[in-house]
Each structure stands twice: as structure tokens, then as C-alpha cells.
Amino acid sequence: MDKIYKILGSSVAFLFPMLVLAQVSDIKGLLSAFRNVLNQIIPILIGLAGVIFLWGVIQFIMGAADEEKRSKGRNLIIYGLIGLAVMLSFWGLVNILLGTFGPTNVTTPSAPIVPPAR
């Protein structure tokens, strides 16, 4: 858990200059700056939550005989799903707020796309 806090702390410290230098003068500018930051962070976090979910599934299947390993796998699956739900709902809430109060000339962020297999 300490590793997660270190990663989150360093990512916030890395992104803080982007928020400070945004020079926001009204709520629309603030929402637009917040949206730009989310557009860069959310796809990475969604991918990370997906990897955590899949790692939990692998641990759950591989530890079918051991109750402790299944419990750890089950917890990772739950954490991954909760992380995905929170991030997607937060992203949706920001887009709803921008659609209601935000500027009209800003493009809507697209969901992350997996490139097709060759």
C-alpha cells in the first residue's frame, strides 16, 4: 500500500505545475484545465486497474487449492473493478459538468482504444 501512495504522490507532484501554469480566470477555464489533465491520466489509470484486475484473476485461478491465495486474488479483482468504476464515473462526471457549464469549442475525450491485431 505504501508503494501506491508513493506513486500517487509523485504523479500529483509531477502534474501540479500543469495546474498552476493553467492561468484559470473562470470556472470554465478551470473545468477545461481539469479535463485536459484527466485526458492524460485516466487512460493510464484505466489500464493499470485492468492489469490489477487480470492479475487478480490469474492469482485466483492459480491458487484454487489454497484459500489464502484465492482470497488475495479475489481482493485484487474487487480492487480492480472498484478502481475502474470510480475512474470511469469520475471521467463521466467531469464530461457532464463540461457539457453543462463548459466551453463549446473543446473536443470531447475519446475512450482508450486498443489497436487491432496484425
pLDDT tens, position by position, 35-45? 777 778 878 88
**Does residue 118 carry a pLDDT above 80?**
no
Residues contacting residue 56 through CB under 8 Å, at least 6 positions apart:
72, 73, 74, 75, 76, 77, 78, 79, 80
The pLDDT assigned to 78 comes to 92
- Which letter does DSSP use for residue 112 in this model? P
Q: Would you call 108 helix, strand, or coil by DSSP?
A: coil
The pLDDT assigned to 67 comes to 87
Q: Tell me how many helices (H) and strands (E) the chain has.
A: 3, 0
pLDDT tens, position by position, 13-55? 555 555 555 555 667 777 777 777 777 887 888 888 889 899 9
Domains of the chain, by residue range, sit at 41-104
